[in-house]
A and B are shown apart, each in its own frame.
Chain A
């Protein structure tokens, strides 16, 4: 496709709280190309989560445009947004959000259920993704039988199973220890090297240093957009 993978133009998100209006996003314009690894940083209340919700088509901006893969998605209806999420976006959350008492392979296959993919194909593709994150041995374990790092790997496999345009990760290491965090960041870097676009939301500089580009937010505005000398998580893990 021509042009950037996603482009926002003067995004504004307004919340009304009693009499006062809060600009969660205040005129954010940014372009992210295919294959980038972007970290979105900022203190809490800076608007980075709202930005991520809009990028993830979970929320609609009050004004401004958002193009994803050349399509104007900021004007779509709720069910059309669901279709965009289903086909083009993979989510990774801080608390994994896996279905309890459900085997890993079925957790991974969940997005395919909503695409109407047949059960046998779901199984094949889910196992393939679990192998990709190094969990093929644990495909029938329930989340409660997996460690935090393994659970996040299952969640990443779930994000990948629909072959999305980009992966949105919201504080993916927030619930993990530093060693496991390095493993997960290494996995994101590996996926990025294979061509996947990754957008990471974090408030930790420690995590953001693994990205190649950092967007800094403050008070709903994009205040800095800088390239970053990427640190190799795998090398750091080996050194530790």
Chain B
């Protein structure tokens, strides 16, 4: 009997028991569907994280003022001695592999015409856009004269542009921040949500000197040259770790930190944060796929169960087939093909179900899903393998029946 005839015999046997075949398949349908959906959702989450990492830039160091200890009481970050613009200049001068850009943060109510909006204000230098890898969608960056002269100009984020100007062009318009008129010289491109879920486009950038005098204020004269955070971009293609150490050493020297004492600043390597995030999202994707595989496995056990019942129930049929000339391998082949056919058809229906469900999740829940052809091929191949694996034992049991006893079986 050739394989085509085997397939015909198997299909006929399955067709004779339509409901049972359908129910047996259901296990594989759900299993394969679940694997495809879970892989798609997991891959979607991973793609999202990777996209955010690209948006933030993975070769960044973030320096913030450190904590101090006063009489045994440890204060939070920012309580330590301030970072200053001189620190920024020193990093840029001493470490050629790095570009440092300061940011001084405040918040203010912004007014344009009869609308207003509360947003964050960042005092920055022109390098900020380069360091954050944040291009402009229109307009221009700050000019040296504006930096030196505390020019009343600003760049606005996409969210602010939308809130204040709707669809019209904000460039060259004048907005009022703390009663001071500022000219908008450009609009930043959309960056989307941060990893923590905050809207990164809800901000206004202005020269750091302007921010200090006009917006953030200078309640403490001693902190006149202080900055909130310093972003450091490591040149492309370089390992961030040695540069991080250079920056740490330089700042410790400048702040006269004694050897052995803790840093009076906090230095974070975003590449490490990112790779940790990426690893956790990958683990999540793997976990989802693994859980889904368990249901596929359960489906396979269902196939074995039904095939065993089927072999017992059809013992006389097997005896008859042997009597009319079926060899061991004909019987083995018939039951194996039945099991594989069940799992393969179930697998294909499962693919359709999985792709449909993943698309539905994407359009209704708005989640990012990534359907890859590899996952489909993998799931179908897995279903095929399960059919062979779980079909083999019942098929062998059928093939090894004694024809005399099988024919006499009641």
Contact = CB atoms under 8 A, between A and B. Distances in A.
Interface of A: 53, 56, 58-59, 78-79, 82-83, 85-87, 91, 93, 97, 99-102, 110-111, 113-116, 158, 162
B407 A97 contact: yes
Nearest to A110: B324
A114 B8 CA distance: 13
A91 B325 contact: no
B352 interface: no
Interface residues of B, number: 23
B1 interface: yes
Contacts of B403: 58-59
Interface stretch (B155-163, B207-215, B326-334, B362-370): B326-334
Nearest to B408: A49
A12 B317 CA distance: 29
Contacts of B326: 82, 114
Q: Mostly helix, strand, loop or mixed at chain B's interface?
A: helix
A99 B317 contact: yes
Contact of B327 (A53, A83, A97, A101): A83
Nearest to B323: A91
Contacts of A78: 327-328
Interface string B312-350: 000011011111111111100000000000000000000
B16 A102 contact: yes
A97 B316 contact: yes
A102 B8 CA distance: 13
Contact of B407 (A58, A111, A116): A58
Contacts of A97: 316-317, 319-320, 323, 407
B14 to A, nearest CB: 12
Nearest to B403: A58
Contacts of A79: 327-329
Contacts of B5: 113, 116
B167 interface: no
Given A79-B328, A82-B325, 18 more contacts: A53-B404, A79-B327, A79-B329, A82-B322, A85-B322, A85-B323, A85-B324, A85-B325, A93-B407, A97-B316, A99-B320, A102-B12, A102-B16, A111-B325, A113-B9, A114-B1, A116-B2, A162-B324
A108 to B, nearest CB: 10
Question: Which 7 A-B residue pairings sit nearest by Cβ, starting from the closest?
Answer: A86-B325, A111-B324, A114-B325, A97-B320, A82-B327, A79-B327, A101-B16
Interface in B272-305: none
Interface in B357-393: none
Nearest to A84: B325
Contacts of B323: 56, 58, 85, 91, 97
Interface of B: 1-2, 5, 9, 12, 16, 316-317, 319-330, 403-404, 407
B407 A115 contact: no
A46 to B, nearest CB: 16
Contacts, number: 66
Nearest to A53: B404
B317 to A, nearest CB: 6
A114 B1 CA distance: 5
A156 B144 CA distance: 105
Contacts of A56: 323
Scoring B16, B320, B329 by chain A CB atoms within 10 A of each residue's CB, the highest score goes to B320
B407 A110 contact: no
Contacts of B330: 114
A58 B404 contact: yes
Nearest to B13: A99
Scoring B12, B323, B328, B403 by chain A CB atoms within 10 A of each residue's CB, the highest score goes to B323
A37 B180 CA distance: 121
Contacts of B328: 78-79, 82
Nearest to A99: B317
Contacts of A101: 16
Contacts of A158: 324
A7 B82 CA distance: 111
B325 to A, nearest CB: 3
B334 to A, nearest CB: 10
Nearest to B320: A97
B324 A114 contact: yes
A115 B330 CA distance: 11
A102 B320 CA distance: 14
A114 B321 contact: yes
B369 to A, nearest CB: 43
Contacts of A82: 322, 325-328
A58 B319 CA distance: 10
B327 A114 contact: yes
A239 B90 CA distance: 126
A120 B283 CA distance: 57
A78 B407 CA distance: 16
A186 B407 CA distance: 26
A114 B16 CA distance: 20
A50 to B, nearest CB: 9
20 contacts: A58-B322, A58-B403, A58-B404, A58-B407, A78-B327, A79-B327, A79-B329, A82-B326, A83-B325, A86-B325, A97-B316, A101-B16, A102-B16, A110-B320, A110-B324, A113-B9, A114-B321, A114-B327, A114-B330, A116-B5
